[in-house]
């Protein structure tokens, strides 16, 4: 089949594209290669696909509706869309809010319209985020929980994307599945995320900022587990739930072909233990700069992935210790350390 992967030069997008190519799919990748973080890393991810005839790339922005609609008109063979492009980062949304509206709201609607124009589109799978749970304190986070209290604009745009996909599923019967990612890490990771920042600073002997004085929990999820979940989900298009009762609404079910899943590790880790693991993998001691909780941040994330497990057989396998060891090995190799 032919899969359109947006954000293909990104962390998750590049890994998903490689998995699809390895199993024999055709992949059309798009990315705008913006400078939110070092574009050289994005170029290096793309370089892995050189020589793979089943892969093609176009530099496009998902919010550019003219260019995106022209692309799908020229590639009517596309059968599935993995929409993984987004403006990421909670703290940056406080500085540049319009970047999030453009990429995450306008971009979502453009990709929905693109799917509607594709005559053979079976499934629209898109990236959401655990940040939609916002101020919720009930753990673990379940897809059945209400998500009406986002604490950052980033989270609000991701929730908006879920609702927009529902509307398209309801009105146009476009099979749509949103995946709420929980703190993804691993080789080729994002330099703006704590695994990358902490490893770099610890190896260079620089202090690391430890927010909320270390009183944090995160459901760190290794990239291979994420990719398996994305591919498995893509292979099983969303369908209407025949048992849905509109008189007793359920946030996780619908009479439209629309689904939402958590995709995480189910093993939340204390931030200080996470730092210890990095210290063990790098052989270096961290210099900790203890700071208060940052605006837009949440104290804990913890995924209930039972819905995804029941639907597609998803089960995370990689422990933090194993995954961080692999990441540190990649980091040393990539940067020649």
Give the 3-state DSSP-derived string for 177-243, with helices as H, strands as E and coil as C: EEEEECCEECCCCCCCCHHHHHHHHHHCCCEEEEHHHHCCEECCEEHHHHHHHHHHHHCCCCCCCCC
The C-alpha atoms of residue 193 and residue 160 are separated, in whole angstroms, by 23
Q: Within a 13 Å sphere around the CA of 303, how many CA atoms are in the beta-carbon half?
A: 31
Specify the residue for token string 């024999």.
Answer: 24
- The active-site residue, picked from 154, 274, 314, 331, is 154
Nearest to 325 by CA among 195, 238, 165: 195
Q: Within a 13 Å sphere around the CA of 294, how many CA atoms are in the beta-carbon half?
A: 16
37 is catalytic: no
Here the tokens at position 43 are 């170029």
DSSP state string for 86-104: ----TTHHHH-HHHHIIII
Phi, psi of 305 (to 5 degrees): -105, 20
Q: What is residue 70's three-state secondary structure?
A: helix
Here the tokens at position 125 are 């799978």
**H or E element that contains 17:** helix 11-22
The C-alpha atoms of residue 14 and residue 192 are separated, in whole angstroms, by 17
Give the active site residues: 154
């Amino acid at each position: 089949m032919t899969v359109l992967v947006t954000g293909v030069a990104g962390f998750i997008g590049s890994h998903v594209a490689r998995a699809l190519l390895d199993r024999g799919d055709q992949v059309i990748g798009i990315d705008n290669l913006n400078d939110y973080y070092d574009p050289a890393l994005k170029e290096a991810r793309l370089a892995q696909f050189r020589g793979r005839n089943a892969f093609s790339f176009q530099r496009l922005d998902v919010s550019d509706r003219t260019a995106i609609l022209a692309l799908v008109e020229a590639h009517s063979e596309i059968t599935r869309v993995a929409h993984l492009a987004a403006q990421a980062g909670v703290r940056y949304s406080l500085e540049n809010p319009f970047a999030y509206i453009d990429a995450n709201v306008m971009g979502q609607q453009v990709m929905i319209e693109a799917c509607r124009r594709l005559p053979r589109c079976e499934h629209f799978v898109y990236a959401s985020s655990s940040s939609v749970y916002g101020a919720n304190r009930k753990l673990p986070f379940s897809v059945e929980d209400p998500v009406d209290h986002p604490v950052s604009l980033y989270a609000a745009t991701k929730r908006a994307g879920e609702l927009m996909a529902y509307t398209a599923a309801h009105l146009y019967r476009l099979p749509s599945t949103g995946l709420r990612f929980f703190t993804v890490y691993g080789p080729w990771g994002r330099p703006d995320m704590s695994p990358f920042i902490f490893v770099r600073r610890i190896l260079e002997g620089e202090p690391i900022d430890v927010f909320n004085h270390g009183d944090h929990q995160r459901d760190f999820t290794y990239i291979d587990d994420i990719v398996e979940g994305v591919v498995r989900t893509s292979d099983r298009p969303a369908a209407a739930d025949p048992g849905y009762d509109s008189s007793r609404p359920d946030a996780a079910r619908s009479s439209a072909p629309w689904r939402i899943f958590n995709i995480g590790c189910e093993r939340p880790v204390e931030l200080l233990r996470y730092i210890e693991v990095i210290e063990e993998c790098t052989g270096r001691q961290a210099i900790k700069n203890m700071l208060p909780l940052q605006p837009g941040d949440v104290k804990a994330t913890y995924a209930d992935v039972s819905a995804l497990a029941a639907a597609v057989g998803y089960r995370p396998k990689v422990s933090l210790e194993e995954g961080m060891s692999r990441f540190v090995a990649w980091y040393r190799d990539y940067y020649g350390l």
